Amino acid sequence: MKILASLSLISLLVLGGCSSNKSDSTTSTTTPVTQNQIVHLIQPSDIPNYITQFKQLRDQLQLEFDGVTYPISLVDFDIQDKVIYAKYELGLALIGFDLEAEKPIETLTLLEGDTSDIENFSNTVTRTLTGSQVQTTQDGDNIIYQATMTDEQTQGTYMARLVFNDALISGGNSVLEINGDSANLSGSLGTNTYIQIDELIMRNPEVRTIVLKDVDGSVNDAINMHTGRLVRNAQLTTFMPADGEAYSGGVDLYAAGYQRKYETGGKLGVHSWCCVDGKPADQLGRNHSAHGAQLTYFRDILGETNGPEFYFFTIEAASFENVHVMTREELDKYKLITD
Domain-by-domain residue ranges, the chain? 3-23+61-164, 172-333
What does the pLDDT profile of the chain (339 residues) look like in tens digits? 433 444 443 443 343 323 333 334 444 444 455 558 999 999 999 999 999 999 999 999 999 999 999 999 999 999 999 999 999 999 999 999 999 999 999 999 999 999 999 999 999 999 999 999 999 999 999 999 999 999 999 999 999 999 999 999 999 999 999 999 999 999 999 999 999 999 999 999 999 999 999 999 999 999 999 999 999 999 999 999 999 999 999 999 999 999 999 999 999 999 999 999 999 999 999 999 999 999 999 999 999 999 999 999 999 999 999 999 999 999 999 999 997
- How far apart, in whole angstroms, are the C-alpha atoms of residue 15 and residue 4? 13
Question: pLDDT value at position 233?
Answer: 99
Element of type H or E holding 214: strand 209-218
Neighbouring CB atoms inside 10 A of 329's CB total 8
Element of type H or E holding 315: helix 306-317
Residues whose CB is less than 8 angstroms from the CB of residue 272 and which lie 6 or more positions away in sequence, other chains included: 280, 281, 282, 314, 315, 316, 318, 319, 320
- How far apart, in whole angstroms, are the C-alpha atoms of residue 111 and residue 90? 8
Q: Is 36 helix (H, G, I), strand (E, B) or coil?
A: coil
CATH 1.20.1730.10 fits 172-333, yes or no: no
Running DSSP on this structure, what letter comes out for residue 59?
Answer: T
Residue 155: burial class (beta carbons within 10 Å; 0-12, 13-18, 19+):
exposed
- How far apart, in whole angstroms, are the C-alpha atoms of residue 174 and residue 88? 16
